[in-house]
């Protein structure tokens, strides 16, 4: 039985804030203690609030109201905590926030009855090494991306897997993604979709100069090392499309499967393939 539920809301979205207020009332009527992000607590006049970075200390489940970007931000706040997350889509395409507004309360009723089903999603850990020293480390749910800026020339990125040389990608960059991230940037770059509960890592080149460079699927136990071999100084490392840092020539980015994972509460009313059909409009003319 879940007794303490947190709510994180997409900022500056009136629909999400209005829904949060209604949801707090609905849960409180069922004797559920509700904690909300301190950014919206004054707006909805709710006394139990805390910083997003600390909300995991007080809850045993989390509801995210917004789009995939809001959910990715919430996952970072939950880092290291395997707390079930219910993503409610108030945004656009919404692969991660797969619960619709119409499904929200029926799904919550089932959760409160103890009928919750959650799915584990793997994450990636990315470490930036500069002249042998660790300068930054990140944990991501979707993808790790090395890419040039708008004005930069083609960049060269050498790739090693478990110490073995694979190839040097020449083009706009390289994407390393999880199964969850296979429907994000990697898909737009020509990568395949694979089932989100799988444990694998996908390497997808971005606009490769050689058309023979194709996406490569490898085991999740692999260690991938990407080395920026270009002299270009305007190259970025981007994590989940939201955070990142500038890379220097010959920086090394080492990517492995993260130790922690994310738990997503599944909709009891549809499966993943129905989500794909709906989002991609498969079968429509």
Provide, rounded to the nearest whole percent, the portion of the chain with pLDDT above 90: 64
Q: Burial letters for 57-94: b for 16+ Cβ neighbours within 10 Å, e otherwise? A: eebebbbbbbbbbbbbbbbbbbeeeebbbbbbbbbeeb
Q: What's the rounded Cα separation, in Å, for the pair 4 and 62?
A: 9
Q: What's the rounded Cα separation, in Å, for the pair 61 and 56?
A: 8
- What structural domains and CATH numbers belong to the chain? 4-117+266-280 (3.40.50.10330), 123-259 (2.60.200.30)
189-205 pLDDT per residue, tens = 999 999 999 999 999 99
100-144 pLDDT per residue, tens = 889 999 999 999 888 888 999 999 999 999 999 999 999 999 999
166-186 pLDDT per residue, tens = 999 999 999 999 999 999 999
Q: What's the rounded Cα separation, in Å, for the pair 178 and 42?
A: 37
pTM metric for this prediction:
0.91
**Is the model more confident about 177 or about 283?**
177
Q: What's the rounded Cα separation, in Å, for the pair 203 and 144?
A: 10
Catalytic residue (choose from 37, 68, 143, 240)? 68
Q: Are strands 61-66 and 4-9 parallel, antiparallel or unpaired?
A: parallel
In Å, how far are 68, 140, 203, 253 from 75, measured between CA atoms? 10, 9, 22, 22
Residue 172 annotated among the catalytic residues of the structure: no
**pLDDT at site 189:** 95
């Amino acid at each position: 039985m879940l007794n303490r539920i947190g709510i994180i809301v997409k900022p500056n979205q009136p629909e999400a804030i209005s829904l949060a207020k209604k949801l707090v009332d609905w849960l409180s009527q069922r004797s559920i203690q509700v904690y909300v992000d301190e950014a919206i607590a004054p707006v909805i006049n709710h006394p139990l609030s805390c910083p997003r970075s600390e909300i995991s200390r007080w809850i045993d489940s989390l509801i995210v109201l917004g789009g995939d970007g809001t959910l990715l931000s919430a996952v970072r706040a939950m880092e290291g905590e395997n707390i079930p997350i219910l993503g409610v889509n108030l945004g656009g395409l919404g692969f991660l926030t797969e619960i619709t507004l119409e499904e929200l309360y029926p799904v919550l009723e089932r959760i409160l009855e103890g009928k919750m089903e959650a799915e584990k999603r793997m994450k990636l850990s990315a470490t930036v090494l500069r002249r042998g020293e660790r300068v930054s480390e990140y944990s991501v749910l979707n993808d790790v991306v090395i890419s040039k800026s708008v004005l930069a020339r083609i960049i060269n990125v050498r790739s090693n897997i478990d110490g073995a040389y694979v190839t040097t990608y020449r083009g706009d960059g390289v994407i390393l993604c999880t199964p969850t991230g296979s429907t994000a940037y990697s898909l737009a770059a020509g990568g395949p979709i694979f089932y989100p509960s799988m444990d694998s890592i996908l390497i997808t080149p971005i606009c490769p100069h050689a058309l023979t460079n194709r996406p490569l699927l490898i085991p999740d136990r692999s260690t991938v090392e990407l080395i920026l071999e270009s002299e270009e100084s305007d190259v970025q490392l981007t994590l989940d499309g939201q955070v990142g840092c500038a890379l220097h020539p010959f920086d090394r980015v080492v990517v492995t499967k993260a130790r922690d994972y994310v738990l997503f509460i599944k909709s009891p009313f549809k499966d993943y393939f129905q989500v794909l059909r709906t989002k991609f409009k498969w079968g429509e003319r």
